[in-house]
A and B are shown apart, each in its own frame.
Chain A
Amino acid sequence: MITVEFLYRLMGILTGTAAVINLRDMAHPSRYANAAFWGLWSVSFLFGSALPDLANGILILAMVAVASLRGVKASGGEQQTLAERSASAAKFGNTLFIPALAIPAVTLFANVTLGKITIGGVALVDPKQVTLVALGLATILSLLLGLVLLRPPLRAPFVEARRLLDSVGWAAMLPQLLAALGAVFAAAGVGTVVSTLAAGWIPDGAPLLSVAAYTVGMALLTMLMGNAFAAFPVMTLGIAVPLLVTQLHGDPTIIAAIGMLSGFCGTLMTPMAANFNLVPVALLELPDRYAVIRVQWPTALLLLATNTALMYFFAFPH
């Protein structure tokens, strides 16, 4: 059975080769720091499942120490010059789009088919992990397609992956670390404390105020937790159900649907949602860490106001 552990091996190889290439790159301004960072992450991917929890915790501390003391810096830039790339673009033409578009196409196809394949009664892929395995499979197939169509030197995928990893830097690991923080928050009971606080603080009576308390509360808590899914149970069971549904007789379907979307408005405005807001900053090589949030917040606030109005006008008997 193919599980996500197989994909962790691949990630281990990817980060491991990035570490080795960095270590051998004499021209790199921070070859040792980069090699240490990707090397430690590689250990986590390859052996994390077998290591004791405390050792995995120490790996995190070591990576964070390297990243915050020495930094993970971009390597010397592209190896091909602009002229070479333009010539290559002219040579291959639209063939270049085929592997790129194969990634979503194969992911979609694998998503609907992988779960149904069994060999000798055993599922080929762990049913709970179909989405992830589909994505992993799509990246492998599109890479093979790229190698066949473009015939680059065989080391090119590794060299290029190292270039991209270096340019994303420590931000590559942030979403995973934030997911871990969410789990620690949950274990320590942060959500329960927040919902108790919120419930005691809301004034009862005015419907518009109560609606706004829920929609704005969803956005704010999402901003703090980095994730609307973590905020939703807390705010919905703490505010929406007792206040909007039970007391004011609102329609729970409309309230909950729009409540979740109000949380998404919060996601657009917080660095805690790193995979959406900080990782693209690194990927697109933007100098301002909050550049994407800066573009998103006006839309997010307008939609939050829209959501509040929609809920107020449609969810209650007037």
Chain B
Amino acid sequence: MLVLSGLLVVVLGFAFRVNPLLVVTVAGLVTGLAGGLGFARTLGTLGHAFTDSRYVAIVWLVLPVIGLLERAGLKERAREMVLRMQSATAGRVLLAYLALRQVTAALGLVSLGGHPQMVRPLVAPMAEGAAERDTGGLDEETRHEIRAHAAAVDNIGVFFGEDVFIAIGSILLIKGVLEQVGIRVLPTQLAMWAIPTAIAAFVVHGARLLLLDRRLARRAGSVA
């Protein structure tokens, strides 16, 4: 029971908006101590696990090229491109990206996306640009809301697309876990049963994106 105290630290820390790095470190230390490891061994375990997890940070290797392209005007170019598409609205730009992300992830192409390489330099400026043209200027709050939506679309697209592909990590994990207790399942069948939720995700979130357009239009109308 005592080892659960780390989870309690996590819940309280995030609820009270303490710096997440501090929350996670304290949670790790508390869990190790509660598990009877002692301070030095707990810190060593955390250090070892941290070093083993460095691969998680590899995504930041894209920053030099993204920064270089931003310096050369990539965001401005993405904006300009969307301005020339008359029928593009913020919601529709995001809806198109949602479809693209879901379909490519379902084909196993999960690396075709991501926040540093796609959302920040391309998707967010395009959605902002479209909204700006349609509503004649954005206040900060609306701009931030559109950006948050751009980040969310990337997540929702990949989460509810990737399981339709049979060789993705989660499908293999499901198969492995069930095999431990002698239940055999087929990856193709697992992938097939990810399709209803994938469709639901597109319908539900797509509808919310179109509602976002209506809300933006109403907000612009009340200002004008």
Contacts and interface: CB of A to CB of B under 8 A. Distances in A.
User: Do these two chains really belong together in a complex?
Assistant: yes
Interface string B160-183: 100100000110011001101101
Contacts of B40: 54
Interface in A255-281: 256-258, 260-261, 264, 267-268, 271-272, 274-281
A160 B21 contact: no
B173 A56 contact: no
Contact of A257 (B147, B149, B193): B193
22 contacts: A44-B50, A48-B54, A49-B51, A56-B44, A57-B47, A64-B25, A87-B73, A96-B72, A100-B69, A132-B55, A135-B61, A142-B62, A156-B71, A165-B60, A180-B52, A184-B31, A184-B42, A188-B34, A194-B4, A232-B174, A256-B178, A280-B119
B152 A143 contact: no
Q: Is the interface of B mostly helix, strand, loop or mixed?
A: helix
Contacts of A280: 115, 119-120, 151, 154
A89 interface: yes
Contact of B169 (A60, A175, A229, A261): A229
A224 B11 contact: yes
A194 to B, nearest CB: 7
Given A187-B35, A287-B144, A303-B160, A310 B196 contact: yes
Given A142-B65, A258-B197, A188 B32 contact: yes
A243 interface: no
Give chain A's interface secondary structure class.
Answer: helix
B142 interface: no
Given A146-B69, A299-B156, A179 B177 contact: no
A316 interface: no
B1 interface: yes
Interface in B40-89: 40, 42-77, 80-81
A295 B149 contact: yes
A185 B70 contact: no
A88 B173 contact: no
B21 A53 contact: no
A4 B111 CA distance: 17
B62 A157 contact: no
A143 B151 contact: no
Given A44-B50, A57-B44, A157-B67, A172 B57 contact: yes
A96 B114 CA distance: 18
Contacts of B205: 299
A170 interface: yes
Given A56-B50, A100-B74, A177 B21 contact: yes
A183 interface: yes
A241 B72 contact: no
Interface stretch (A25-33, A104-112, A117-125, A204-212): A104-112
B96 interface: no
B155 A236 contact: no
A82 B193 CA distance: 48
B197 A306 contact: yes
Contacts of A68: 19, 21-22
Contacts of B57: 11, 45, 172-173, 175-176
Given A160-B70, A176-B53, 9 more contacts: A53-B45, A78-B70, A100-B74, A104-B118, A139-B65, A164-B63, A233-B177, A253-B186, A306-B197
A174 interface: yes
Contacts of A307: 197
Contacts of B181: 237, 241
B217 interface: no
A114 interface: no
Contacts of A129: 55
Interface string A284-300: 10111101101110110
Contacts of A103: 62, 65, 117
B217 to A, nearest CB: 18
A184 B45 contact: yes
A78 to B, nearest CB: 7
B218 interface: no
A139 B66 CA distance: 9
B7 interface: yes
Interface string A77-101: 0111010011111101110110110
A111 to B, nearest CB: 7
A9 to B, nearest CB: 11
A100 B22 CA distance: 34
Given A92-B73, A256-B190, A232 B177 contact: yes
